Structure 1
Amino acid sequence: MRLICPWATLFCAVAGWNHASSSMAANALSAITVTTRTTIPDQSPKDVQDFLASPGNWPKIVSTSMGVESEQNDVDKPLPVGGTVDELFGLPPILPLYVSWTCTKNNNYRPPSSSANTKQQQNALGRLEFFSTKGLQGVAENCEMVFDIQQQQLQQQSSSSGTNVVLNMKYDPVSFLAVLAVPILTLDNTIALQFLLPAAMRDQPELDKFRNLMGSLYGVAGLAHLADCIVGDSQLLTMAGAPTFDMLPLVGQVYALLWCLMGPLSFAMTKLFGGKGFADMGLILYGLVEVVGAGLIDVFYGSGSLEASALLIMNPLLNAILVQAVVAGAWSYSANKVPDGVTP
């Protein structure tokens, strides 16, 4: 999965973070543990453990995981004990980050007897462990991912059973970046386990269709916006309250071009690159750039204009946020929609 959120790493790299000085102070810090819990509905412990043990699935549930490589092992199958895999994350090719993981334990869950004591119940847990001695150079070392997996208890069950998963991520900080990244890492792990993992394990042709549709729409929209800015009348900009493209300051023109190019980039990440993480990241980046751009228009130029229908276009920032909320809602609906022919 990943150790430290690459957005924090990128920020420190751009800001010129002094790793040498911070590393000396970080040596006095104790190991850090980040714990995340979730329940995967309608999935057996074995299926969940096999899914998590297969590194090829990591980019499907962690948006910052860009891919995995292993010369000796099939990444689409559970990694054997002693097997290694290199995970690529960050912002390649600008900021490619690698962590080499070794599987150190893969014990399947064994249902305990009704009379089992606490120790026996603990031993019955499915456990999956990955370890990286070097970790992320200059940031963290002795990094460990530990998954405890067990059947959902009877008293917790509603209409169907599921699997409880507890993830403990541990590492020794080498830089204060590893400490500052804890809140971001906690949020990232929560999204991965509580939302993306259940969605990824479900047969979800509807979500794949939605990703492809939005990628195509964003791609066409980006090219249309580019043509409107360069050779057209900048209708979308003026409707939002901004001047035409040629009247924008240089920084505004650069951002407008970035916004236009995010459409084709989103399309490429959805269609051309492997892994669901790429597809979702493309949609997220497009929405982020659009919302920030709308916010800049709102700050510097105010609200949009009136259309012929006499309906006032909403504040551009609120409008952009509403659109992205609809997209997020549609993603969630598609992710949780039961496929045709499958009994919920």
Structure 2
Amino acid sequence: MSDYFLGLMSGTSADGIDAVLVQFDSNRCHLVGSSSQPFSASLQRQIHALADGQSCTLEQLAELDLTLGHAFAEAALALVSQHQIAPEQIAAIGCHGQTVRHRPTTDATQGFSIQIGDANIIAERTGITTVADFRRRDIAAGGHGAPLAPGFHAWAFGSATESRAVINIGGMSNITWLPTDGTATGYDLGPGNVLMDAWCIKHLQQAYDSDGQWAAGGDLEPALLEKLIAHPFIQATPPKSTGRETFNLHWLQSLLQNETPQNVQRTLCEFTAQVIAQSCAPLAGNAAYICGGGAQNRFLMQRLAALLPQWRIESTETIGVHPQWVEAMAFAWLARQRVTHQPGNLCSVTGASHPVVLGAIFPAR
């Protein structure tokens, strides 16, 4: 089997596709190449509308599934062409797909998680075996199906000499706790960039707040921050996972009074920072490594450092992987787990009753 795998990731923000080409050996991986393919504003709006709970016809859903399948295939083909690697040299593509609905299992209801982006199209167009639909087997085993990256975090970033928190700040944020004894736990924390980005689109017609500059110029609204932190999900005990169905612009606007838009942005940034700090404070460690788009938000990183003065707050680049590519690399790793018949979930994270092999295989032609 080839030791090359390709990972494709589009997260909750739905701003585009991160693609990575990864080479594995027995106990480490090497990032060979990476690229990012942005979505058009129109495609992003379609994804957001569906993920935020707006209704659509089955035909519209099917068309979006096809469109994203082609987009994922094109991202993979561009990266393969860039590095002049023949498709037969790549063991598999791991494609997360685009989440459009995530409803975790509760005591009362069976959960589900839906990712679209037709993997048949990816396998057919690339000629590379494709692994997709990673979440539902974990859900069938009683888990949340998310977050799944902690398994990769434990494999890639675990240390026998330093207890570490790995914190992904994407649309949503999640934490993986890696003590030196080799165990691993983790869970979704709540909003990462999703509310800040949505607020920027609404008021600045910009996709995100570059370096957190808009937020940094605003004033904190304590009453609004208290309402945000009071959300039941924030106070719930793990295992737990969430998505845009819970934290979206409609929910935010239901809490607002007469705050100025810039003050709201400042408060949203503080909300993300305080929820992360709240999760780290009781842990017996002092090193937190940040990945995802939030690592590029300078003001957010400053707030984390201020809220966690005993912790060293750094990007995952410090331990070998640029923060933008960690999640896509996780799905390359999950594809490798699948084709080698190894479990991809951590029961301590998702709450599944037992470890399971994740993903459905779509063979190369």
Q: Greater relative contact order (Cα 8 A, min sep 6): structure 1 or 2?
A: 2
TM-score with structure 1 setting the length: 0.26
TM-score with structure 2 setting the length: 0.25
Higher helix share: 1
